[in-house]
Structure 1
């Protein structure tokens, strides 16, 4: 087997394959009827790209071209797609879709780990099936009246929030995508009120969920605000939200859930916020657990970063959307009084399930932050860079040269937290100060990663006298939970602050906010895995927003730096956005799009 391992051994020695990738390839070589270098390469690459977030390895990206090492030297020549595919099919461990083999190769050259082919295939089928189901029990007269009441006409432009709400009432699957401040949550609260108004609506069982505890908490805050501001219209709507894992029912030590096809969820309407964060495996399991009659409403921003795990489900769902079918456009016109532009080129039912919200109510598209986000999202480097260069100290956006010490800037802002602690401020004031400002990083490790930046900010605060003593549990330490603890009710993404606990004689505890406005205190020794959070990754910031954001980018380019990462960071800021970068790195970010290899969009739209 030594000859078959030669190529992957060279790639491993250069750091291009991990030990896990090579181990997986070795397993398949041992099982194969015809082991070969090409099988080892395909297996190792499939393992590698899956860990990078792709659902599959596209053989087309490597076929019929030389394979170079890190030094640029050619270490192998990969055959054509046809020849490579033929060799793989003769191996005895690579099957075609529907077969039970460790690897599945489809006709387009996409090579999957078997479980990921199964997830994608099943998810595509379930989404397509649900999109094809129109709700047959809707009273259009009641709906028309409710839409007029909740979405009064404000001009001649199409009200996309109204369109989204109407579509969600009329269909079993609804996907509402929009950038920050476009009113996704406002829309969904109104559409839930519309469902309550329908015949039998008072008996509907609602559930509201999000991928992380942080996102679920923010959704609950927004819902409570809607209930408080519109008690007559929203008072009967659900209060509590849940993480997706808690909703499905975690089985400890297992990847399966309590709720599944054989034990479906007991609900009629499910709203899932921050859907862009949900990977293909989890989304497939969610669809399996939904009753056939239930409505599924997905909320998210298709242009944000995709999930950390494999897949870009929301992006794939929205990828082929150009407008509703002519038939559904007519129905929308009947109930909304507005005529959305239809798309007759694609008769797929999914076209009637997607609505994209276009108007931001958080910041005007003409504001500096709005213009910067728009320029980045469209790949307009020239405009984006000019906006950064125009920004001065008083501007909404500002570029900070990499030579400037951002730790000093950040420490100056975070000092407010320690000043409030010194005045014995209430936890609510301390959290308000903490959430006013956040440093974001592209990566966890490296000189400009979260770990290093947190250390520099902490050191600067110590040098200014705000942090004293040697304990890691200093007063004011902000803490990010990085692993779920169902026993404690703490979830990946929850943020707390270390403070003297008046209920424990002033001993340091970590205080966490609760959705009802109260706080809970937990001893540091009981916490699940966690880290200091003066700085956090852009990925971890999804589902959050801050008045001011400082994005610390690496001094050198990295393949992980993408347009989607930059757009996500910009849109976390409500009022000010600062970025530490130089032109070359920024140029690469704006032009490098995140592309996840997947066959889901093809299944849904072709």
Structure 2
């Protein structure tokens, strides 16, 4: 069934209003549907002369900051009361976390670990010619109770956190750590990344029991951590039943909407818990209202800035001059809660600085038409761009990447081997419908590879689209249909070495996933991706953040089907969601 969303907005407005407020609420609902937290009153006035501010400031259903009314006007913005409460409380919780820590005591404890830090975790690296932001982030996070670490793929967010965990557990072996991410897929990748980091640390002179403790940590979804209650929007853990953890590490934070961010931080003990938020501020924002992680990084306080005292203290741990924090990062001490709490990891250790995925993704982000044109004119070993006229040929060729002859999984006989290969290749679509959308492309790939007669078939790749905690599967989880002894079951990877299966009937909602939307790919990595762009430029959802997210899902090879004009247009369009979060910190 299709719904007329504008009619829904109008009906909602009419439910509350029989006068001039109706139009204001209709505009507010449209903004919320587009991912904004509120409506910019002045921008709306410029757009529609029928809107009158007198209605807002005199209507009985509209209040100000302290009022318990359905709609709130605050700082020239119109909110639903619920979203205003979420935003204000979130800022308050973060401010409390930023103010609760014994800096002097923690400095002494770091000094006691100086040999471990300087010679084992972060030995001098002559090949690194810039500030060692990983070491800076690690030391800074030890000192702070609230930390944001942003960085693109391969910048070492997980490596940094793994070394921080060593420091924290060496300092307090009884420290209780919780790891979580917004989706099951992102949680699994977080788990795998930390496990891989622990393998690399095993060769260092770190006590085995510390390595063992970190290796045993289990990453979960935020919903699982908070205690999902079936059929309810509430969780078991909240401000009246706080999480019992000393350290909370949250990955893929750009995917978290305002509502979930609020509920997560409401459940944190701000007097004793250390919170570390990881993510890429340049990625797509959440599907629902809010771009909280980006707002915290871009709209509140300048990243990578320190007082002279903090800069001097951290630099004392860094031996090589080129790896120290530079004077350009010095900022006069101020009272902003987030000052010295925001770190951006700038160096990618996965991609080359002068070519390929790293350069192209940055060019898209910065709308650098000159560099984009270079990639359009000439392919290289990582980036290849095709015109939409080549769609049929390229898709047919690319679909063979799913087969074992091309390092894929179709044709393999071991479910362990199959699950290990499902992240080799994927087709990423900017839209769901139409010739270049997910539905049509999945149908095409199915016909090319299988021409199936049944709903379920051997080697079918599926994605769960509804949380089912009772079955340990969540929205975004990937599974494979595989026939063992005549029984078709859906297999899921629990870890690198473990898997579990469900019958198809146990999965309430799913879709075939040879192709998926770019939104659905967040939190995943693939060896190779094929990105399919539509042939119409008139779509406000086609933004540089969308294309950047798609490109950076790939570790090795990116192929794009899309006309040059479309790629230039996408690079020009940026996500800009309206919120008042920054104002709550400065007010």
Q: 1:362 aligns with which of 331, 350, 355?
A: 350
Deviation at 1:468, TM superposition (A): 5.1
TM-score normalized by the length of structure 2: 0.91
What is aligned with 1:4? Answer: none
What is aligned with 1:3? Answer: none
What is aligned with 2:159? Answer: 186
Measure the CA separation in 1 of the matches of 2:407 and 2:553. Answer: 25
What is aligned with 2:337? Answer: 349
Q: Once structures 1 and 2 are overlaid, which stretch shifts more, 336-345 or 418-427?
A: 418-427
Q: 1:240 aligns with which of 194, 197, 218?
A: 218
Residues 295, 422 of structure 1: CA spacing in aligned structure 2 closer, same or farther, 3 A cutoff? closer
What whole-Å deviation, never above 9, does each CA across 1:220-242 have from its counterpart, x for those lacking one?
Answer: 11122223333345222242111
Say yes or no: does 1:567 pair with 2:548: yes
Residues 576, 422 of structure 1: CA spacing in aligned structure 2 closer, same or farther, 3 A cutoff? closer
Measure the CA separation in 2 of the matches of 1:455 and 1:416. Answer: 21
Say yes or no: does 1:490 pair with 2:468: no
Measure the CA separation in 1 of the matches of 2:213 and 2:487. Answer: 42
What whole-Å deviation, never above 9, does each CA across 1:182-201 have from its counterpart, x for those lacking one?
Answer: 01001000001011122xx1
Measure the CA separation in 1 of the matches of 2:54 and 2:309. Answer: 45
1:284 counterpart SS class:
helix
List aligned pairs for 1:152-167, cutoff 5 A. 152-155=123-126, 157-167=130-140
List aligned pairs for 1:44-443, cutoff 5 A. 44-65=26-47, 67=48, 77-79=49-51, 84-107=52-75, 109-136=76-103, 137-138=105-106, 139-148=109-118, 149-155=120-126, 157-198=130-171, 201-231=172-202, 232=206, 234-237=211-214, 238-291=216-269, 292-319=271-298, 320-322=301-303, 323-336=305-318, 338-340=324-326, 341-344=329-332, 347-391=335-379, 395-404=381-390, 405=392, 406-416=394-404, 424-443=412-431
2:470 counterpart SS class:
coil
Does the 8 A contact of 2:402 with 2:410 survive in 1? Answer: no
CA RMSD of aligned residues (A): 2.1
Does the 8 A contact of 1:207 with 1:271 survive in 2? Answer: yes
What whole-Å deviation, never above 9, does each CA across 1:154-197 have from its counterpart, x for those lacking one?
Answer: 13532100000001100100111000000100100000101112
Does the 8 A contact of 2:387 with 2:564 survive in 1? Answer: no
Q: Once structures 1 and 2 are overlaid, which stretch shifts more, 227-236 or 296-305?
A: 227-236
Measure the CA separation in 2 of the matches of 1:125 and 1:492. Answer: 30
2:440 counterpart SS class:
helix
Measure the CA separation in 2 of the matches of 1:158 and 1:477. Answer: 46
Residues 469, 380 of structure 1: CA spacing in aligned structure 2 closer, same or farther, 3 A cutoff? closer
What whole-Å deviation, never above 9, does each CA across 1:264-296 have from its counterpart, x for those lacking one?
Answer: 001100110111111111111111111121100
2:542 counterpart SS class:
coil
Does the 8 A contact of 1:177 with 1:357 survive in 2? Answer: yes
Q: 1:513 aligns with which of 493, 507, 511?
A: 493
What is aligned with 2:565? Answer: 584
2:249 counterpart SS class:
strand
Does the 8 A contact of 1:146 with 1:197 survive in 2? Answer: no
Q: Once structures 1 and 2 are overlaid, which stretch shifts more, 519-528 or 529-538?
A: 519-528
Say yes or no: does 1:450 pair with 2:438: yes
Does the 8 A contact of 2:404 with 2:411 survive in 1? Answer: no
Residues 175, 332 of structure 1: CA spacing in aligned structure 2 closer, same or farther, 3 A cutoff? same
Measure the CA separation in 1 of the matches of 2:527 and 2:412. Answer: 23
Measure the CA separation in 1 of the matches of 2:289 and 2:221. Answer: 19
Does the 8 A contact of 1:130 with 1:172 survive in 2? Answer: yes
Residues 574, 222 of structure 1: CA spacing in aligned structure 2 closer, same or farther, 3 A cutoff? same
What is aligned with 1:6? Answer: none
What is aligned with 1:71? Answer: none
Measure the CA separation in 1 of the matches of 2:188 and 2:475. Answer: 12
What whole-Å deviation, never above 9, does each CA across 1:382-439 have from its counterpart, x for those lacking one?
Answer: 31132132116xx311111101114313322224389987755212322343311110
Does the 8 A contact of 2:408 with 2:422 survive in 1? Answer: no
Residues 188, 54 of structure 1: CA spacing in aligned structure 2 closer, same or farther, 3 A cutoff? same
1:309 counterpart SS class:
coil
Does the 8 A contact of 1:182 with 1:357 survive in 2? Answer: yes
Unmatched tracts of structure 1, length 5 or more: 1-13, 68-76, 462-466
What is aligned with 1:556? Answer: 536
Measure the CA separation in 1 of the matches of 2:408 and 2:281. Answer: 39
Measure the CA separation in 2 of the matches of 1:413 and 1:251. Answer: 40
Does the 8 A contact of 2:153 with 2:350 survive in 1? Answer: yes
Deviation at 1:143, TM superposition (A): 3.7
Measure the CA separation in 1 of the matches of 2:10 and 2:58. Answer: 21
Structure 1 stretches of 4+ with a deviation exceeding 4 A read 417-424
